[in-house]
Amino acid sequence: MLQYLINLSAIWLLSLIVYEVFLKKETYHGYNRFYLLGTFAVGLALPLIHFNTSEQIYTATHTAPIYHFIETKKLIQPTNTPNASQPANNINYLLLGYLAGCIIAMVCSLKEIYLLWKLYRNGTKHNVDGWWIIETGNAHGPFSMLNTLYVSNIKDYSETEWAMLTEHEYLHYKHLHFIDLLLMQFAKIIFWFHPLVYIYTYRLAIIHEFQADHTSRNNLKTYCEFLLEQSILANGPALAHRLTHSPLKSRFQMLATKSSKLAKMKSLVIAPILLICILCFSKTILARDKVIKGHKVYFWGSEFEIADSAWLPVFINDSGKESGHTVMMPKKCQFPYPAKLNGEVIISYEYYQDSESLAFEWNDHDKYFHLAQVFLIQQEIINRSLLKYLYDNLESDFTTLPDGRYRLYLRNMVINKTGKIVYFDGAAINDSKSDYHGIYNHELMNSPEAIAIVKRVSTLLKDAPDFGHFTNVDGKPALGLINTIITDASFTIKDHKLTVRYPKK
């Protein structure tokens, strides 16, 4: 969600900057309205669209599983160990704050609707040439919604002023400006916290007035004086078109301005803007899911620090003596692994093992041993949920494989504090025969069917639901790393039908 909001904001901000620089002062109001509505919609939709699968490349050597992975989880009796994998029943204050904002924004909108209904119910109604004229008897400027015009009193306007007013409001109705206002009001409820939504709403309201003012060019002086007179009166509800809501100075300047034909060329600016948005802010192959810079990897909008060694205890004999001492020395890992996410340590089963080794001469040894066992239980539950999610969504993909028995592998998967998958190194499929002998069927792994499946896995992991989180020493949610997921479930393909063999609990 955070990445979506970042991409959405970037598209809106870039589009508004282009509008302010190139289009704001031009009189092609229809195009400007289309530009604002279009870029607003693009900002909402583009970050959700997949134009291609991930850029990440999967190879057999890259995804080779670690067979010496310590499976001490089989020795654990879950019934005797606290189930620490269940998410804490903490209130999500951020979500509550967002929902509270939505409710407040909705109440404000309903208040505006109630005000219009109240004026409509209590006012004096006239039907003139298909228009409903509502005389409210209150001191306010004129405003309209669809084909209903609200005025204080018809007698307050001269024949010329009334003709200018009705023509202005008719153009709002003709151009369906109310639909724009309704859509933006709904957007302000959902994105009440986003300042760019209010800027879009304000800019669209100004363009609506520019379009409705356009026919008054022939009587410019009288019309400007009329707007000045009405500006001292109170405005109407936000859902209505208010005659003097927009800045009068800008409207006077626009009435006196006429864009040249050369200015039409500025409309072509939308093409490069759209291309930039597609390349940079959509879920496309060119968005580059994974960028490697030295020991740092940038993946799905986060920075990961990659480690290639772990600290383990080594016993060293004292020269010429039977005694000795133990020191901690770095040991090269078989595969590099993500050790930190945005500067915060990622815990793992091996992390607790190392901590247990570091504390083996102190009283914390039992504590870290227990934490390592709890971590394995949490990992077991997350693995089962993840496994079911993948197999449920990959059935049609798996059936493209030849008949046989297979196993799916994943490596270096990071789970954030809310249970969301935020990183993984790769995926691979191996057949059971090769898997039994501890070798890899490179021909299978590099086949078009297997490559398509592991790319599909990438998409599923990126859009996966929360599977539960890990906990740290204090029992609080923590970043967790599953070094190697050698899925205990195998699957069989026969006559293009999938049969999954899940492990016993």
pLDDT digits (tens, 9 = 90+) for 438-447: 677 778 888 8
| pLDDT score recorded for residue 71 | 34
Listed range (279-283, 289-293, 480-484) with the worst mean pLDDT: 279-283
**How do residues 357-391 score in pLDDT, each as one tens digit?**
444 444 555 666 777 778 888 888 888 888 888 88
**3-class DSSP state of 368:** helix
Q: Encode pLDDT of 68-91 as tens digits.
A: 333 333 333 333 333 433 443 444
Termini Cα distance of the chain: 33
Tell me the average pLDDT across 461-488. 78
- The pLDDT value recorded for residue 489 is 65
Most confident range (mean pLDDT) of 7-11, 34-38, 425-429 is 34-38
Under DSSP, is residue 192 helix (H, G, I), strand (E, B) or coil?
coil
Q: Which residues contact 489 (CB under 8 A, 6 or more apart)?
A: 387, 391, 407, 408, 500, 501, 502, 503
Q: CA gyration radius for the chain?
A: 32
Round to whole Å and give the CA distance between 270 and 202: 21
The mean pLDDT of the chain is 76
E strand spans, 225-323: 241-242, 290-293, 296-299, 302-317
Q: Which residues contact 14 (CB under 8 A, 6 or more apart)?
A: 273, 276, 277
Residue 454 has pLDDT above 70, yes or no: yes
